[in-house]
């Protein structure tokens, strides 16, 4: 599915229960930037030229984290990824500001080696 169609699905239907690895960085970045713009508009406007700029930078950050986890032989958990993005999407701005989503995003990687 092309990125634009995937983002339209995300807006219309919400985050899927299981978030495929190949869509993780784009979907997480889209939701993160929506929340940043909503909850910390000044920070959003100082750091980015607009939503597209925010999504591109955030997607790169999420992808770099994913590649680092995979390099450490951590397994990606689709259900946990979907849950982490849904939590980010629905949390209060106070929780977003306190970065309460970080723990959920850490939990989507299984680094137990099993």
pLDDT digits (tens, 9 = 90+) for 24-73: 999 999 999 999 999 988 877 888 778 888 999 999 999 999 999 999 99
| pLDDT range class, residue 5, cuts 50, 70, 90 | very low
CB within 8 Å of 8: residues ≥ 6 apart: none
Residue range 74-96, pLDDT digits in tens = 999 999 999 999 999 999 999 99
pTM exceeding the 0.75 threshold for the entire prediction: yes
Three-state SS sequence of the chain: CCHHHHHHHHHHHCCCCCCCHHHHHHHHHHHHHHHHHHHCHHHHHHHCCCHHHHHHHHHHHHHHHHHHHHHCCCEECHHHHHHHHHHHHHCCHHHHHCCCCHHHHHCCEECCCC
């Amino acid at each position: 599915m092309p990125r634009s169609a995937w983002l339209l699905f995300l807006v219309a239907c919400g985050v899927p229960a299981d978030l495929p690895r190949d869509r993780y960085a784009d979907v997480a970045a889209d939701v993160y930037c929506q929340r940043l713009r909503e909850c910390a508009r000044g920070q959003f406007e100082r750091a980015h030229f607009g939503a597209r700029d925010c999504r591109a930078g955030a997607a790169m950050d999420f992808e770099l984290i994913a590649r680092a986890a995979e390099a450490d032989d951590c397994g990606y958990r689709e259900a946990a990824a979907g849950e982490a993005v849904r939590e980010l999407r629905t949390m209060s701005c106070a929780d977003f500001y306190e970065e309460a989503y970080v723990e959920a995003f850490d939990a989507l990687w299984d680094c137990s080696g099993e």
